[in-house]
Structure 1
Amino acid sequence: MNNITRLRCDLEYAIHADTHFCFNIQASRRDDQRILDESLVVTPGIQVRQFEDPNNGNRFFRCDGIPGTLKLRYDAQIEMLRSSPDSSLQESSITEMPNEVLHYLLPSRYCQSDVMSRAAQHLFSGAPRGYARVQHICEWIRDNIAYQLGVSTPTTSAQDVYLQRAGVCRDFAHLAITFCRALNIPARLVVGYVHFNDPPQDFHATFEAWLGGRWVMFDPTHLAPVEAVVRVGNGRDAKDTAFATMFGSVTMTYMHIQVNHDGQPPSENPDPIEATVQRLVMA
């Protein structure tokens, strides 16, 4: 695989009433991925305010929209520097964990590790500790949870997924995070871009577990290699990592994502966003 990834994200919304938007679609700046070039196009030309989450490094931009149409295009060229995970990594004792990692042991909105503790202990307490146990969690989820579009909603939790035995990438990651936390392994959600053959391209959710004193990425869907995931953001669960949050009345009318791991530029979409718009180039 080429270590240069080029991606494009097109979003379009019909705004029915004055609305404030907060987006999290830009690649994060990290040691394991280097942004070579990026641009953000917004139609119409409205003021955009950018800020960064100091806790997670997620990059956000905000804007106000009036009734009509809002279109976004984000292009980026990323050099991927992430290596394959080390399967010998071991779990850390709680006393060894850094202060900033501890809250990833606690239950959160979509990851009720306290409620799921008995199930996690029953299924995984006997598995070899460390990387192998987290990998075993991923394998159990792949074997027992069907990847099925349309069965979950924005409020679906890990417990819901465990009971209904179906979900999408976000649901798979939430369940894995929940099992890990119930076993005293800190875990957090990661969202980003990656190319996979089926289903159609979308934002993709994986997760990281704290092993050997570092964050290690896993993908319980097994849709793509974790080395190829261009990270946009991470957090306790989907509450911290939504790609779009709207305060008002809107309808998404179009989304198209392209991810090329061979370094080739994205092709034009069937309904491309007009080029004669405000262009913001990030340093």
Structure 2
Amino acid sequence: MINLRVGCEFKYDVALPTTATVQVRPRSDSTHQLVTESWSTQPPVAVDEYADIYGNPVKRLVMAPGPLVLTYTAVVAVPDEPDADGAAAPQDSVEEVPGDLLHFTLPSRYCLSDELMTTAWELFG
């Protein structure tokens, strides 16, 4: 295992008090372990945490009018071997995908389906 340092910074400037939820955390499972993590806001604001329906941690805060910077840093232990090449992974047709997984194929704000539609048709027909 090797330790990787990861992080990100989000800069906001809001006109009115704005409630926000933030989900940023490296995956932690049998092959990836979160060693340390740190959150900060400038200026400091109260942040509470809850778990979403999948058990993922979510931070909630109220941004006061004006600028706010959210900073996240973490150290994650990961295997020192590269991931397996996924090009040879089996592909299932839509009718073979279990029903409880189909919602992962729906558009979301994280996957701009309107912009990726042409590529999807080229790759998967």
Specify if TM > 0.5: yes
Q: Report the equivalent of 1:103.
A: 103
Provide Cα deviations, 1:84-104, integer angstroms capped at 9, x if missing partner: 235433223545433322234
In structure 2, distance between residues paired with 1:78 and 1:45:
25
Say how many residue pairs are matched. 120
Provide Cα deviations, 1:41-94, integer angstroms capped at 9, x if missing partner: 123332212233324x54321100212332222110001237323543322354
Q: Report the equivalent of 2:73.
A: 75
Q: CA distance change for structure 1 residues 98 and 64 in 2, over 3 Å: closer, same or farther?
A: same
Pick aligned residue for 2:121 from 166, 179, 184 = 179
Q: Report the equivalent of 2:4.
A: 5
Report the TM-score, using the length of structure 2 for normalisation: 0.70
Q: Secondary structure at the match of 2:113?
A: coil
Alpha carbons 1:28, 1:58 under 8 Å: kept: no
- Which 10-residue stretch deviates more, 59-68 or 88-97? 88-97
In structure 1, distance between residues paired with 2:25 and 2:90:
32
Cα distance, 1:32 vs. partner? Answer: 3.5
Q: Tell me the C-alpha RMSD between the 2 structures.
A: 3.0
**Percent identity of equivalent pairs:** 20
Provide Cα deviations, 1:147-196, integer angstroms capped at 9, x if missing partner: xxxxxxxxxx224xx5xxxxxxxxxxxx4xx338954xxxxxxxxxxxxx
1:64 correspondence with 2:66:
no
In structure 2, distance between residues paired with 1:96 and 1:15:
46
The gaps in structure 2 that reach 5 residues or longer are: none
Q: CA distance change for structure 1 residues 180 and 77 in 2, over 3 Å: closer, same or farther?
A: farther
Q: Report the equivalent of 1:41.
A: 40
The gaps in structure 1 that reach 5 residues or longer are: 113-156, 163-174, 184-283
In structure 2, distance between residues paired with 1:58 and 1:179:
31
In structure 2, distance between residues paired with 1:33 and 1:180:
33
Pick aligned residue for 2:116 from 158, 161, 180 = 158
Q: CA distance change for structure 1 residues 76 and 105 in 2, over 3 Å: closer, same or farther?
A: closer
Cα distance, 1:33 vs. partner? Answer: 1.7
Amino acid at match of 1:89: A
Q: Secondary structure at the match of 1:103?
A: helix
Q: CA distance change for structure 1 residues 180 and 31 in 2, over 3 Å: closer, same or farther?
A: farther
In structure 1, distance between residues paired with 2:23 and 2:87:
31
Query: How do 1:1-283 residues align onto structure 2 when only pairs under 5 Å count?
Result: 3-55=2-54, 58-81=56-79, 83-94=83-94, 96-106=96-106, 108=107, 110-111=112-113, 157-159=115-117, 162=118, 175=119, 178-179=120-121, 183=125
In structure 2, distance between residues paired with 1:8 and 1:22:
18
